């Protein structure tokens, strides 16, 4: 996690906030793949926000934040993020990237879902990609309208209202040259509509890419407690800290290599407690037994009693 | 030709334990101390062998142009790779090369060793990965997520060991590892592929691989094998003087490229005869342990099965005790 | 460290064609390609045509412009001889089709395509051949059990 400072705040349309973040230590922000999101901790929770630029040598990160339910991280940002506010965020994660082998790209967005598509559009312009855009918004609820005016490719359809968007999406899906990949981003209902239209038109699943506004795969996790073997020592593992590092701080050093849950070196025995496995090493049998875990990524969903010296 | 790596830079792969495959991946850039010296401070090698290795690289690319090949959709990823390679190399070896990347669609590059002065543009550069390969000692590979799998969609490689990168163009990561013993049953190829797919820009990781080789040729590809002496000849040579057998090390680095998310794989190769390695007593001991214990199928894959006896006899004759 | 003692041999990469005539999944349109298709008892074209009305193309190589004007939703089904089917599949993949968009039926295996590592040429040989001269450089080729779905070729050793 890195500390960022809010360097700019402005409206991205009704109910939408655009924030510009720069690393607080003055470093250059890391580049990111188009369509990436940034996990931001705000108001005590981590949410993923789409990055708006193409990610190539960025001087800052721009994110779009729609005011969500009261008490959520987005509402907190709307109410509290001012120029100079510091925020903690993880590195950008890519899970909605343009497919390099696509012959053409069809971008479908509803409401705030247009944000990762802006990133795709900038990248498409840079690399000379063939792209078509279909976006819809509620009446008077245009999101990032002027940026869209600027980036819209020759084939662009902008509609108002759910029914019009549904029809425009279906029409666009029905006439794409073979080799096209489609990318959809919007509220859950929109994703379901795109899926069903694509299925009706016999689109292979591999040509359709849907951005879910989920938490990133390796979120900070919840805090939990670990008990060290027979010593009776108790260790508090805060959110955002791995068990491996918490053990380090307590003077218990496990072997390690990848710190990414792939090498299996940081395996530790578990005597009791429920494990939230997040590694790529352990098989279903290991998980069912529940007596080992990989300390670099996995966590406890209850107190864990560990087999450590 | 042979570009021998002296022990003080040799990436010694063993740690006193019997060897098995595993996903031995770790973050890049940390220097590792060995009994003979150290390695690993940089991704790219620009040591005393660099000019000679580059000359051989260029000669092979001239003779065998298909050693650099890419599928047509890879141009963006190749450009992404070129800029990453040049920027990283210049940062690691500022006295050898400088790279100006102020405009992301243009690169200016000066290399005082090769004498190259390049002014390249994104749209005007036909095979960016091949251009990069002309300037670095590492083989370069690009993996792209296509049709549900990571695929080797661009290569610029002249120093590969006993496989054919030209044949493998377009193959999935899983299919191109088909011939390696023990990799599939363990789920390791699948696990490694999951790991690679999860790499994010900015992360650079590395792993070592090793094998044995009877000659000092950096180019040990299937594509060059017809120029080698026959198997029996090579075996006789090693039996006559086991100290000439080379330990071949691949220092592999992996990163996800920032603009496209394609995976760049670089391989630096080191080759050193046993005779030189056994001058480090700890290495001699570790080598004897690993080679005596290695199961037959693994030994065959490491090109060592049919000379195991004489090599072990040689190693024990060099024992200090 | 997890031990790994899976016995040799490792999985080899050889062609894995479907054993029976595969059913056609739903699509908006089809084209059937005969690639060395002999219309034998194991031929799929007749059965496919009862499922879908579709054009049939006779092809050793796909004609130029074959993929132009096709829309997503269209699929390709290929019937014929293994070596020639592999070649059509490789061409379709190179044109950007996904695995899901290609259905294959192999009626017979009479030929294989070999890749010469010395010169890069492709040599077509009778199926089951143990060695052959390279069409490109004349060197002796011996095939490995290593096949590329991307090119439809076997890797060889050249001597
Ligand atoms: S350090 Fe590799 S799995 Fe934990
Ligand atoms: Zn037929
Ligand atoms: Zn040949």
**What's the pLDDT tens digit per position in B259-305?**
999 999 999 999 999 999 999 999 999 999 988 888 887 777 777 77
The rounded distance, in Å, linking the Cα atoms of A87 and A23 is 9
Confidence label for C39 from pLDDT (cuts 50, 70 and 90)? confident
Give the range among B177-181, B236-240, C151-155 with minimum mean pLDDT: B177-181
Q: Report, as an integer, the average pLDDT of A126-145.
A: 93
Give the Å distance between the CA of B192 and the centre of ligand 3.
34
Question: A246-264 pLDDT, tens per residue?
Answer: 998 888 888 776 677 766 7
- For residue B70, pLDDT beyond 90: yes
Pick from B81, B68, B103, B321: which is nearest to B201 by CA?
Answer: B81
A42 or C87, greater pLDDT: C87
Tokens for A90? 């993880």
Contact B218, B138 (CB under 8 A): no
Q: Ligand 2 centre from C89 Cα, in Å?
A: 15
Yes or no, beta carbons of A207 and C98 under 8 Å apart: yes
Question: Best of A246, A260, A268, A277 to mutate for ligand 1, by most ligand atoms within 8 A of CB?
Answer: A260
Task: Determine contact, residues A84/A160, Cβ cutoff 8 Å.
Answer: no
pLDDT at B17: 67
Whole-number pLDDT of residue B216:
92
Q: Which residue has the tokens 């968007």?
A: A165
Mean pLDDT to the nearest integer, B91-115: 95
Which of A262, A277, A292 to probe ligand 1 with, by most ligand atoms within 8 A of CB? A262
Per-residue pLDDT, C3 = 29
Residues 6+ apart with CB under 8 A from B138: B43, B44, B45, B253, B266, B267, B268
Mean pLDDT of A199-225: 81
Nearest ligand atom owner, CA of C137: 3
Helices (H) and strands (E) in chain C, counts: 2, 9
The whole-number average pLDDT for the span A258-287 is 80
Please report the pLDDT score of residue B193 as a whole number.
Answer: 76
The pLDDT of residue B143 is above 80: yes
Mutate to test the interface with C, among A174, A176, A178, A265 (most CBs of C within 10 A): A178
Q: What pLDDT shows up at residue A213?
A: 59
Q: Has residue C8 got a pLDDT over 50?
A: no
Question: How far is the C-alpha of B78 from the C-alpha of B155, rounded, in Å?
Answer: 10
Rounded CA gap, C49 and C54, in Å?
7
Spatial distance between the Cα atoms of B83 and B78, rounded to a whole number of angstroms? 9
pLDDT at B182: 54
Chain C partners (3+ C-beta pairs within 8 A): A, B
User: In the predicted model, what is the mean pLDDT of residues C55-59?
Assistant: 85
Residue whose CA lies nearest to ligand 1 atom number 3: A261
Per-residue model confidence (pLDDT) at position C77: 96
Q: B198 by DSSP, 3-state: which? A: helix
Chain A residues with CB under 8 Å of B107 CB are none
Contacts of B153 in chain A (CB under 8 A): 100-101
Q: In this model, does residue A82 exceed pLDDT 50?
A: yes
| Partner C contacted by A206 (CB < 8 A) | yes
How much is the pLDDT for B317?
93
pLDDT at A265: 74
Q: How far apart are CA A31 and CA A38, in angstroms?
A: 12
Interface A-B, measured as beta-carbon pairs within 8 A, has a size of 94
Closest partner residue to C26 (CB to CB) among A174, A202, A205 is: A202
DSSP per-residue letters across C76-101 = EEEEEEHHHHHHHHHHHHHTT--GGG
Please answer whether residues A263 and A281 qualify as being in contact, where contact means their C-beta atoms are separated by less than 8 angstroms.
Answer: yes
The pTM for the full model equals 0.88
Minimum mean pLDDT range among A127-136, A154-163, A229-238, C41-50: A229-238
Give the tens place of pLDDT for each residue, C132-155: 999 999 999 999 989 999 999 999
Residue A188 has pLDDT above 90, yes or no: no
Quick one: pLDDT band at residue A204, thresholds 50, 70, 90? very high
The mean per-residue pLDDT over the stretch A146-165 comes to 96
Q: Taking CB atoms and an 8 Å cutoff, what residues of chain B touch A217?
A: 198
Q: What is the pLDDT of residue C52?
A: 87
Q: C2, C1, C40, C35: which is closest to C21 by C-alpha?
A: C40
Nearest Cα residue in chain A from C28: A202
Interface ipTM above 0.95: no
Q: Which residue has the higher pLDDT, B307 or A218?
A: B307
Is the Cβ–Cβ distance between B258 and C154 less than 8 Å? no
| pLDDT of res. A240 | 85
Show the tokens assigned to C99.
């695995």
Q: With both helix axes pointing from N to C terminus, report the angle between B308-317 and B231-240 in degrees, rounded to the nearest 10.
A: 20
- Distance between CA atoms of residues B105 and C125, nearest Å: 47
The pLDDT confidence band at residue C5, using thresholds 50, 70 and 90, is: very low
Residues 19-58 of C with CB under 8 A from A: 26-28
Give bridge partners of residue A23 from the DSSP assignment: A4
Top residue of C67, C71, C72 to mutate, by most chain A CBs within 10 Å, is C72
According to the model, what pLDDT value does residue B179 have? 59
* Contact check, Cβ <8 Å, A264/B23: yes
Cα–Cα dist B59/B66, whole Å: 13
Does residue A217 surpass a pLDDT of 60?
no
Supply the pLDDT for residue B86.
98
Whether A266 lines ligand 1, by a CB cut-off of 6 Å, is: yes
Residues of B in contact with C2 (CB under 8 A): 22, 186
In contact, B112 and B95? CB cutoff 8 Å: yes
- As a three-state string, the secondary structure of A25-78 is CCCCCCCCCCCCEEEEEECCEEEEEEECCCCCCCCCEEEEEECCCCCCHHHHHH
| Mean pLDDT to the nearest integer, A252-278 | 82
Asked if the model's pLDDT at residue B1 lies above 70, the reply is: no
Contact A234, A306 (CB under 8 A): no
Distance CA B137, CA B156 (A): 11
Confirm or reject: Cβ of A167 under 6 Å from ligand 1.
Answer: no
Per-residue DSSP letter, C64:
T
- Alpha-carbon distance of A84 to B16, in angstroms, equals 53
CA-to-CA separations, A138 to A17, A112, A135, A254, in angstroms, rounded:
17, 10, 11, 54
């Amino acid at each position: 996690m890195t500390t960022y400072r809010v360097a700019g705040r402005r409206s991205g349309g009704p109910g939408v906030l655009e924030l510009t973040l720069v690393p607080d230590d003055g470093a250059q922000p890391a580049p990111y793949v188009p369509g990436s999101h940034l996990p931001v901790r705000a108001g005590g929770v981590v949410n993923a926000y789409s990055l708006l630029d193409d990610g190539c040598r960025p001087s800052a990160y721009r994110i779009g934040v729609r005011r969500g339910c009261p008490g959520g991280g987005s509402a907190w940002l709307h109410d509290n993020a001012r120029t100079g506010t510091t925020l903690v965020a993880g590195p950008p994660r890519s899970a909605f990237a343009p497919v390099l082998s696509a012959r053409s790209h069809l971008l479908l967005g509803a409401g705030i879902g247009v944000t990762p598509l802006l990133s795709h559009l900038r990248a498409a312009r840079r690399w000379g990609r063939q792209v078509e855009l279909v976006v819809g918004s509620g009446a008077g609820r245009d999101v990032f309208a002027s940026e869209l005016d600027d980036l819209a490719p020759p084939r662009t359809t902008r509609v108002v209202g759910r029914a019009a968007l549904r029809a425009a999406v279906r029409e666009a899906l029905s006439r794409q040259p073979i080799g096209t990949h489609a990318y959809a981003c919007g509220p859950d209902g929109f994703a379901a509509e795109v899926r069903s239209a694509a299925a009706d038109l016999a689109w292979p699943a591999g040509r359709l890419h849907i951005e879910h506004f989920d938490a990133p795969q390796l979120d900070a996790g919840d805090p939990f407690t670990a008990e060290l073997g027979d010593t009776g020592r108790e260790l508090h593992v805060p959110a955002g800290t791995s068990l491996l590092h918490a053990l380090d701080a307590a003077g218990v050093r496990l072997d390690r290599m990848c710190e990414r849950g792939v090498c299996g070196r940081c395996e530790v025995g578990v005597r009791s407690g429920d494990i939230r496995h997040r590694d790529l090493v352990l098989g279903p049998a290991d998980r069912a037994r529940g007596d080992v875990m990989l300390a670099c990524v996995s966590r406890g969903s209850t107190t864990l009693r560990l087999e450590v010296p | 030709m042979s570009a021998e790596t002296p022990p003080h830079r040799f990436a010694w792969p063993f740690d006193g334990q019997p060897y098995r495959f595993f996903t031995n991946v770790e973050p890049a850039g940390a220097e590792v101390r060995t009994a003979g010296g150290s390695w690993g401070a940089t991704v790219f090698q620009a040591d005393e062998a660099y000019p000679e290795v580059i000359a051989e690289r260029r000669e092979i690319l001239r003779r065998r142009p298909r050693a650099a090949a890419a599928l047509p959709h890879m141009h963006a990823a190749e450009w992404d790779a070129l800029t990453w390679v040049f920027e990283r190399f210049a940062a690691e070896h500022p006295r050898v090369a400088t790279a100006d990347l102020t405009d992301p669609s243009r690169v200016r590059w000066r290399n005082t060793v090769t004498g190259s002065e390049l002014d390249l543009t994104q749209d005007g550069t036909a095979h960016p990965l091949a251009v990069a390969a002309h300037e670095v000692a590492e083989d370069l590979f690009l993996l792209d997520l296509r049709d549900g799998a990571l695929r080797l969609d661009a290569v610029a490689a002249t120093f590969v060991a006993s496989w054919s990168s030209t044949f493998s163009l377009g193959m999935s990561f899983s299919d191109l590892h088909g011939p390696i013993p023990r990799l599939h049953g363990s789920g390791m190829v699948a696990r490694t592929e999951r790991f690679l797919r999860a790499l994010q820009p900015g992360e650079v990781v590395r792993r070592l691989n090793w094998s044995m080789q009877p000659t000092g040729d950096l180019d040990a590809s299937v594509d060059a094998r017809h120029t080698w002496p026959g198997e029996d000849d090579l075996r006789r040579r090693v039996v006559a003087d086991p100290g000439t057998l080379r330990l071949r090390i691949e220092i592999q680095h992996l990163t996800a490229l920032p603009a496209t998310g394609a995976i760049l794989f670089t391989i630096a190769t080191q080759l050193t005869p046993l005779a030189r390695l056994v001058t480090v007593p700890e290495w001699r001991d570790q080598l004897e342990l690993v080679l005596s214990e290695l199961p037959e199928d693994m030994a065959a894959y490491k090109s060592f099965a049919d000379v195991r006896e004489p090599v072990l006899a040689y190693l024990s004759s060099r024992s200090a005790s | 460290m997890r031990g790994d003692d899976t016995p040799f041999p490792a999985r080899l990469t050889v062609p894995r064609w479907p054993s029976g005539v595969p059913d056609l999944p739903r699509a908006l349109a089809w084209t059937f390609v005969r690639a060395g298709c002999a219309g034998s008892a194991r031929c799929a074209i007749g059965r496919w045509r009862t499922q879908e009305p579709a054009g049939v193309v006779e092809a050793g190589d796909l004609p130029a412009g074959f993929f132009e004007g096709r829309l997503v939703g269209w699929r390709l089904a290929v019937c014929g001889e293994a070596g020639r089917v592999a070649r059509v599949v490789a061409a379709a993949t190179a044109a950007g089709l996904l695995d899901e968009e290609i259905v294959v039926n192999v009626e017979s295996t009479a030929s294989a395509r070999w890749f010469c590592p010395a010169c890069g040429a492709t040599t077509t040989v009778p199926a089951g051949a143990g060695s052959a001269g390279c069409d490109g450089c004349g060197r002796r080729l011996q095939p490995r059990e290593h096949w590329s779905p991307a090119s439809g070729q076997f890797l060889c050793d050249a001597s």
